[in-house]
Amino acid sequence: MLAHLIIRHKVRFKISRPRATRYGDYRAPQQGSGHRISVNGNLNPYAFYITALHEFAHLIAYESFGHKIAPHGKEWKSIFGELLSGALEKDVFPEDVAREVQRHLQSPAASGCADHELMRALRNYDEHPAVLLEELPEQSRFVINGNRVFEKGALLRKRYRCLDVQNQRFYLISGIAEVVPLHGK
């Protein structure tokens, strides 16, 4: 399905190095370059596939409606839903992921990361699953984004209130944020 989309839309498709801030990216044509999509190469096959479909939904929405639509508006949601439904029909996902994709289709989030249940199902297929913030006990210290040290606080609705050890400010961090625990601190 991805090969068909790449050929049909004449997109420059790049498997990129891991990026901490995003799993994939779509760039519309500009200054003579065509459509460009990149997806992180460190994703498991199912996360890679869903991310690629997410980015292709942006491309198709751009081709169909132009650049004046909301990036994750109703047009994008409709197209992304069609792409995911097609993947479900082809049985490309294991049962647990397929179940969460089906549920996710009810209202696709702007980011698959915002759907905690889908992220947990996809995580089952990671070669080396990362530690999630929600797995740490309260008052544990951890590193996020490579160098910032936080102390985990209480859960407030869907996010944890965490103290940045350096600047002593509090931040709300998602429970499914990937962290590196600091032991003995």
Q: What pLDDT was estimated at residue 180?
A: 93
Distance CA 172, CA 174 (A): 7
My answer on whether 83 and 154 are in the same domain is no
Q: What pLDDT was estimated at residue 157?
A: 87
Distance CA 94, CA 133 (A): 26
Q: What is the pLDDT of residues 132-146, one digit of tens each?
A: 999 999 999 999 977
My answer on whether 71 and 142 are in the same domain is no
Q: What pLDDT was estimated at residue 47?
A: 95
Q: What pLDDT was estimated at residue 112?
A: 56
Q: What is the pLDDT of residues 41-91, one digit of tens each?
A: 999 999 999 999 999 999 999 999 998 899 899 999 999 999 999 999 999
In 3D space, the residue among 84, 71, 64, 6 whose CA is nearest the CA of residue 39 turns out to be: 6
Q: pTM of the prediction?
A: 0.82
Could you tell me the residue range of the domain that residue 137 belongs to? 131-182
More confidently predicted of 30 and 107: 30
The enclosing domain of 157 has a CATH number of: 2.30.30
Q: DSSP class of residue 73?
A: S
Residue 110 — pLDDT band, cuts 50, 70, 90? low
The residue from 123, 143, 158 where one domain ends is 123
